[in-house]
A = this chain, B = another copy of it.
Amino acid sequence: MIVSKQRGIVPRKIKGFRDIDVSLNQLKLQIIERASAVYKSYGFEHWDTPILEYADCLGKYMPDDDTVDKGVYAFSNPEIEPVYATDGEPLRDESNDVIMENAFVALRYDLTAPLARVYAERLWMDYLRGQVKVGKAPLFRRFQYGPVYRYEIKLAPGRFREFWQLDFDSVGTSAISSDAEACMILSDALEAIGLKKDTFRIKVNNRKYLKGFLASLGIDKTEAEQDILRIVDKYDKIGLEGVKAELGAGRTDKSGAKIVGLNLDKTLVTGIYDFLNQFTEGGQSRKEIISRLSKIDNAIAQEGLAELQQMDEIFDKLNFGEENVIFEPTLVRGMAYYTGPIFEVESLQTYRNKRGQKKQIGSICGGGRYDGLVQQLLGMSVPAVGASIGVDRLAELLILTKQVPEKADGPVFIANFDDNLMLDYQNIARKLREKGVDVEIYYGCHKGFRGLKKQLSYADRKNCPVAILIGGDEVEKGIATVRNLKLGKELSATITDKREWRARVQKEIPLDSLSKYVAGLLGVYLV
């Protein structure tokens, strides 16, 4: 039987998007402030870019996917504008009219692609005039934080479609020492946020090395290389046998879904398998890994290896030992724009999930070198390196492992018993605020509905330390009743007699010394 219903509006968020409440905001801001201070201490300046960008400026670098439409939120700009040629002039049709279109725009999927746009845009006119030469592009070091957007069709638990990143990047440097510095910055930032150095590990690899290794097996087309790396990137999730299957004939996953394989030649699959298999047991030192990697006879691979060696030297000198930084030849990183050193920070902390199982949250930061990204926009090669902290991931880690700061005290609470006393309430509140005390007057009183119990439960939810209770009686006597809510909560564990409890936590104070008394009470807690 069908009941005919009307279409309605259900108040709801888009799936994968969420509201951030006061506690989570406090935690997120703490992460951002502490990491930003570390980024600044290395000379990075705070910049910001729009959340919406032209899709062609962001490019096609999403992990697992090579199209603009998949994985990103993109739509047609309502404004109609000229189509541009490679020289920056509008394209014209046969009648010499400017060709117009509604260009595709997209919510940024990371903060790196917009950075490349900022850099290229600022240099664009000079470049067109021939005033910037390859190898002499200016250095630009900035940090940035904010939300990014990914339309992931299957949302794993704890993953979001809107999440915050906290990036720093150096554009205009080819120095591998800045790649090593990037790893150390991540480490310093995580320590500043409150993670102990032995609870996370930086994993480093090199895309040049991977590229050279694949070339040594005869794979030298970018597309084939990307396909293979996309599968190797899944190693953490599907294991070595899974990678092998997907490089070959494909496999069936747990849900029974068929995953099409690359159908590579058997020798090739074995070559890749054998290479990865050398590193699956872990525990090798950086030097051991460098020695194993040195066996591949390919110039690009050797270049990548030299970069790893250079980074190892810096880590040694600055006391980033094997327990802090490891080399991991199976590491790929999702984004297609990486070209040199790549790195990722893995949390080693465990927590118990709802079923009591021990779990790890995995990767919390990552980054690498992307020497080709700016070139896509500027037409000129500009080397660059950067890294990103996943703010929401890190916040989740701190919550799961119970490293969250105590909830801050709320405002002093003024209960509202009588609308005729509102001017007195406001006056008292104003005087207290002038002393630097936060104060909230309760405004939730609808007609005939102002019970103290309801008001105090509101104050409790907001963690208010003190309540000021003033009714008609009090005004007549020129006093206020002040209740120490914080002490009250403590004592309620030991004192069961209501009168005794009240005598301890509640006091009548003359109105003219109220501000001083309340400020004094809070002083105990604020110091």
Cβ of A221 within 8 Å of any chain B Cβ, yes or no, is no
- By beta carbon, the residue of chain B nearest A81 is B15
Taking A12-B57, A41-B433, A85-B8 as contacts, is the C-beta distance between A177 and B426 under 8 angstroms? yes
A14-B54 in contact given A46-B22, A458-B139 (Cβ < 8 Å): yes
Does A42 make an interface contact (CB < 8 A)?
yes
Contacts A25-B47, A40-B438, A449-B136 given; indicate if A11 touches B117 (C-beta within 8 A): yes
Known A15-B81, A313-B423; 15 more pairs at CB < 8 Å: A2-B94, A5-B89, A5-B91, A9-B56, A17-B52, A19-B118, A43-B440, A43-B441, A52-B149, A135-B447, A138-B458, A139-B444, A170-B443, A173-B445, A314-B422
Given the complex, which residues of B lie within 8 Å of A75, measured CB to CB? 73, 75-76
CA distance A118 to B17 in the complex (A): 12
Partner of A7, one of B76, B83, B423: B83
List, in ascending order, chain B residues with CB within 8 A of A76's CB: 75
From A69, which residue of chain B is reached at the shortest CB distance?
Answer: B78
A444-B172 in contact (CB<8A): yes
CB distance from A108 to the nearest CB of B (A): 11
In the complex where A121-B13, A449-B135 touch, is A178 in contact with B41 (Cβ < 8 A)? no
Q: Is A18 located at the chain interface by the 8 A CB criterion? A: yes
CB-CB under 8 A from A96, the residues of chain B are 2
A142 to B89, CA, bound (A): 48
Q: A19-B118, A422-B177 are in contact. Are A11 and B57 (CB under 8 A)?
A: yes
Contact with B along A61-76 (1 / 0, CB 8 A): 0000000000001011
Q: Is the CB of B10 within 8 A of A175?
A: no
Q: Let me know if A43 and B12 touch, CB within 8 A.
A: no
Query: Is A26 an interface residue, CB under 8 A from the partner?
Result: yes
Residues B53 and A13 in contact, CB atoms below 8 Å apart: yes
Copies in the complex: 2
Q: Is the Cβ of A443 less than 8 Å from the Cβ of B411?
A: no
Report the separation of the CA atoms of residues A135 and B121 in the bound assembly, to the nearest whole angstrom. Answer: 55
For A141, give the chain B residue with the smallest CB separation: B440
Q: Which residues of B contact A2 (CB under 8 A)?
A: 92, 94, 96
| Bound complex: CA A415 to CA B9 (Å) | 61
18 pairs, CB–CB < 8 Å, chain A vs chain B: A5-B87, A5-B91, A10-B124, A13-B54, A17-B52, A20-B49, A22-B45, A40-B411, A41-B438, A43-B410, A43-B413, A73-B75, A79-B153, A136-B446, A139-B442, A175-B419, A177-B422, A314-B426
Of all chain B residues, the one with the shortest Cβ separation from A458 is: B139
Chain B residue, CB-CB nearest to A134: B446
Q: Which residues of A contact B (CB under 8 A)?
A: 2, 5-15, 17-22, 25-26, 29, 40-43, 45-54, 56-57, 73, 75-79, 81, 83-89, 91-92, 94, 96, 105, 107, 117-118, 120-121, 124, 135-136, 138-139, 141-142, 147, 149, 151, 153, 162, 170, 172-175, 177-178, 180-181, 188, 313-314, 317-318, 376-378, 410-411, 413, 419, 422-423, 426-427, 430, 433, 437-447, 449, 458, 462
Chain B neighbourhood of A13, CB < 8 A: 49-50, 53-54, 117, 121
